[in-house]
């Protein structure tokens, strides 16, 4: 065993790194890298983003300030950040994929054009990624400790003030796309990121050259124009923020654009040319849980709070609570009432909304009122579901 204090020379660190990569593969990670901790060049952009108020009601982002760009301030003694990628595109299967010849993007575009269907972001259809990555990152840290002895470290998965995309970019996990997500030529963007802050001087891995070129597909397709400039996202306009992070009324000006998206939005990823190379997950954790894959809006609307908690146990969806879940559904149901959906579907949705009104919270009543009003708006006035882009 090599003591942590002795991992100093390039030879020792390189030998350890080879073993760490092997362990990471065994634990289901798709790729790992190592970044240094000098992120000073990222601070001006972070400051400008916060100053513009693009974080919306995510006040914790401004509360932590520049700690995000200073790993050693977050975890004292940090010398390197081990970054990890885990692909989450569910393993192939099901009649829909068979009919579409395995083209998962085509399936998702079709879902968005089916107003009676509910669309949940792909990443949230399986087990909560926070739990999956955190457990496996800790297992990786434990293996390192077995090899070198006790060492200082802390595991993160979208759970602390960490500049995940910046660290992933610096360590070669990918490059920052114009939608602000990490992209890789051989994996697209359909993966989660996680980190281990550690006090071991592992060799830094090289970053990748960006390959977005002149492409603006993600910017052009965004339903709410949340990508206000290349590499710059106004979260206040983003459907993922509005349906997950935002806890009040959804601004009226964005409701029609939400379509049938009830938790998150994948449009910028669906249209990205690099995602034709997206990799299927090697883990069953991210397989689609029924009924999150193919449920209708009406089926999900009928869930009681107890049903919601039961169906979302172990899922990232549970954290938004039943109230926000119903708020999102009401908006989607309103969009269906103003769409090309059949008269039968519209009648059922309208009845369900009316029946729920008296027992609804004040917030939900406001969204039900808006939804019922869409029946008279008609499909011509509502923004249509995003069309499948040319690929």
Task: Decide: 285 and 126 in contact? Cβ < 8 Å.
Answer: yes
Report the phi/psi class of residue 157: left, alpha or beta, with left for phi > 0 and alpha for psi in -120 to 50.
beta
**Lowest-confidence segment of 17-26, 101-110, 355-364 by average pLDDT:** 101-110
Residue 386 pLDDT > 50: no
Predicted pLDDT of residue 66: 82
Predicted pLDDT of residue 69: 86
CA–chain centroid gap for 190, Å, is 9
User: What percent of the chain lies above the pLDDT cut of 70?
Assistant: 91
- Cα–Cα separations (whole angstroms), residue 308 to 262, 292, 312: 14, 11, 6
Task: Decide: 207 and 170 in contact? Cβ < 8 Å.
Answer: yes
128 is written with which tokens? 């909560």
Residues 6+ apart with CB under 8 A from 340: 115, 379
Report the phi/psi class of residue 290: left, alpha or beta, with left for phi > 0 and alpha for psi in -120 to 50.
beta
Catalytic residue among 158, 199, 294, 369: 158
Is 158 a known active-site residue?
yes
Say whether 390 sits in a helix, a strand or coil: coil
Residues 6+ apart with CB under 8 A from 182: 85, 164, 165, 168, 169, 173, 174, 175, 176, 189, 191, 193
- Cα–Cα separations (whole angstroms), residue 189 to 18, 89, 323: 25, 10, 30
Measure the CA–CA gap between 315 and 325, rounded to whole angstroms: 13
In this prediction, residues 190-194 reach a mean pLDDT of 97
Mean pLDDT, rounded, of the chain:
91
Looking at per-residue confidence, does 10 or 170 come out higher?
A: 170
Domains in the chain, start-ordered, CATH in brackets?
4-90+127-198 (3.40.109), 106-125+217-273+288-376 (no CATH)
- Is the omega angle on the peptide bond into residue 342 within 30 degrees of 0, that is, cis? no
In this prediction, residues 380-386 reach a mean pLDDT of 41
Task: Decide: 368 and 357 in contact? Cβ < 8 Å.
Answer: yes
Looking at per-residue confidence, does 63 or 50 come out higher?
A: 50
Residue 331 pLDDT > 60: yes
* Measured distance between the N- and C-terminal CA atoms of the chain, rounded to whole angstroms: 52
Predicted pLDDT of residue 64: 73
Measure the CA–CA gap between 230 and 115, rounded to whole angstroms: 30
Task: Decide: 227 and 219 in contact? Cβ < 8 Å.
Answer: yes
Measure the CA–CA gap between 151 and 140, rounded to whole angstroms: 13
Residue 34 pLDDT > 70: yes
Report the phi/psi class of residue 225: left, alpha or beta, with left for phi > 0 and alpha for psi in -120 to 50.
left
Task: Decide: 121 and 243 in contact? Cβ < 8 Å.
Answer: no
Predicted pLDDT of residue 92: 74
pLDDT, tens only, 205-256: 999 999 999 999 999 999 999 999 999 999 999 999 999 999 999 999 999 9
């Amino acid at each position: 065993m090599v003591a942590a204090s002795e991992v100093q020379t390039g030879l020792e660190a390189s030998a350890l790194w080879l073993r760490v990569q092997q362990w990471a593969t065994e634990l289901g990670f798709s790729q790992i890298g190592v970044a240094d901790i000098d992120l000073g060049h990222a601070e001006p952009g972070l400051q400008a983003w916060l100053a513009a108020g693009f974080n919306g009601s995510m006040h914790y982002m401004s509360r932590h300030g520049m700690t995000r760009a200073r790993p050693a301030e977050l975890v004292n003694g940090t010398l390197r950040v081990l970054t990890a990628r885990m692909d989450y595109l569910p393993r192939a299967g099901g009649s829909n994929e068979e009919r579409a010849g395995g083209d998962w993007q085509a399936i998702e575009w079709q879902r968005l054009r089916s107003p009676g269907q509910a669309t949940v972001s792909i990443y949230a259809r399986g087990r909560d990624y926070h739990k999956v990555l955190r457990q496996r990152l800790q297992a990786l840290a434990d293996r390192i400790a077995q090899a070198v002895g006790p060492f200082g470290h802390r595991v993160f998965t979208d759970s602390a003030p960490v500049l995940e995309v910046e660290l992933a970019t610096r360590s070669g996990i990918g490059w920052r796309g114009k939608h602000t997500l990490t992209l890789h030529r051989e994996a697209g963007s359909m993966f989660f990121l996680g980190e281990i802050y550690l006090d071991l001087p592992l060799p830094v891995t090289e970053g990748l050259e960006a390959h977005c070129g002149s492409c603006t597909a993600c910017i052009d397709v965004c339903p709410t124009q949340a990508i206000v400039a290349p590499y710059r996202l106004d979260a206040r306009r983003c459907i993922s923020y509005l349906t997950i992070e935002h806890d009040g009324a959804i601004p009226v000006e964005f409701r029609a654009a939400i379509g049938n998206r009830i938790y998150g939005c994948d449009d910028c990823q669906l249209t990205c040319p690099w995602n034709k190379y997206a990799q299927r997950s090697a883990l069953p954790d991210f397989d689609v849980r029924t009924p999150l894959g193919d449920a209708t809006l009406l089926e999900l609307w009928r869930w009681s709070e107890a049903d919601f908690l039961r169906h979302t146990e172990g899922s990232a969806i549970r954290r938004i609570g039943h109230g926000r879940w119903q708020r999102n559904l009401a908006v989607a149901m309103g969009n269906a009432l103003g769409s090309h959906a059949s008269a039968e579907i519209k009648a059922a949705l309208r009845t369900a909304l009316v029946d729920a009104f008296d027992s609804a919270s004040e917030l939900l009543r406001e969204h039900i009122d808006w939804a019922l009003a869409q029946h008279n708006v008609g499909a011509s006035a509502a923004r249509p579901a995003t069309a499948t882009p040319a690929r």
